Structure 1
Amino acid sequence: MRKITLAFILAALASFQTSATVVEIRTNMGNISVNLFDEQTPETVENFLEYVNSGAYANTIVHRLEPGFVIQSGGYQYNGQLPLDEVPTGAPVVNEPELSNVRGTIAMAKLAGDPDSATSQWFINLADNSANLDLQNSGFTVFGQVIENGMDIADEINQLPRYNLGGAASAAPLIDYDSASGEDPNEDNFVLITDIVVTDDAVVTNPDLNPTPNTLINNNNSGGGDNPSTPSDGGSSGGAINPLTMLVLALGTLLFRRRIKA
């Protein structure tokens, strides 16, 4: 009986471990590692990984830079000439505004006034944008955090000059580009993402990370629209008892009753 109980406890504890995935955004300016929050935002992570595993992010560019705010990608590919090709997208994913848009987090872009419209485009928060993005458009879904020295690369991109390439790439950061030459930018000028790949799919990765919950959305679940600087595409909700806590309480009650009977 004791062996069965111990096996049950170990299996139950294993089921409550935080699942996570680490991906590497490989760019011509350096690589950015990101720890995804599979448990807090499962639908969004699954959606993102579908694009990753299909190779959809190969040869995409950072098509938008808002200095001190965000860098945005996932929507357009450079295949040797302009105009840029759009990344084929699937069905949109449901909004999961559980976590806060603080510096170093990665979140999904979406259509203005449509909370559940995110597809392939994502952005990295260059600053603490929680006061804006945790509420706008029912909150922007944070689904990961940049780790290691990844923000050094993001900050370098933040320093690049921007150019209007038309459409959604009206504020594209470019490297060593001479607009006076009259030539179109090429692969040496774009912040090019050669690929995004999974580098660690262990059950638990970076357990020391403590993502900041989005408390603003709980206090004011505003559906508000976007403002001009909001990323556009075209953890805990509180109050619930942690399942692990419930398990410990249940086991404690069981042991207490067994002791009484003895």
Structure 2
Amino acid sequence: MIWVVAGTEKGRILVEELLSSGYKVLATTATSYGGSLLAAHENLDVKNVPLNRNEMIILADEYKVRLIIDASHPYSEEVKKNALHVSETAGIPLLELGRSHVAIPGAVEFDSYSDAADYLHGKAGNVLLTIGSKNLKYFRESQQQKIYARVLSLESSISQCAQSGFVPERIIAMKHTFSVEFEKALIREFDIKFLVTKESGAEGGVMEKAEAAAQSGVEVIMIRRPVRESENIFYNMDELILRAGEIVNG
């Protein structure tokens, strides 16, 4: 059994590729939305609830997992730490499906959300946050700006927006990535002057957001991705699946 820590579109594709190659797969996601991305298959078991370290170790033993593949979001640091802990504790090999880094010319980059929020506070012009819902708490409007949060159209995301002080008229709830033209339309509609994004790779729609911002004269603020280096991180899915086969069948 191969355990894929999923929850992203790329994770879904990986699961499908492994199934088509004849492997039995356990896929876990933290939300029902992540689980809904995965189509039913006779060789696929899906768990779509958050798991702590102990629960993950129990699950690995229950399913006789021979390999863990971390295909979680590049900013899911806690998930990655937990996967590594399970790997080391249970002695199960761990591979990771990474995302290539994307450089955005002219972007102002920060290592933390709080630093980005400090930079923006007091600046004149509306702000569009496209960083998910978990770190909205760092951002506060000033008299010269309105701050809009674009998040997934999930109850949990809307709830986190409210907990972070965002009123309904400042919440844009949508699903998936969008075209350059759509991003430009959103920028025009809300008179955006600053766009905050994470360095989540091409899969996260960063290039479309950056291009729309450039064409609209909008400043991009980028939250840098945590630096992680390992020989077990693969950026090519075919190479990862080949290595997975060597481990499972070796």
TM norm structure 2? 0.27
Whose helix proportion is higher, 1 or 2? Answer: 2
Larger radius of gyration: 1
TM-score scaled by structure 1? 0.26
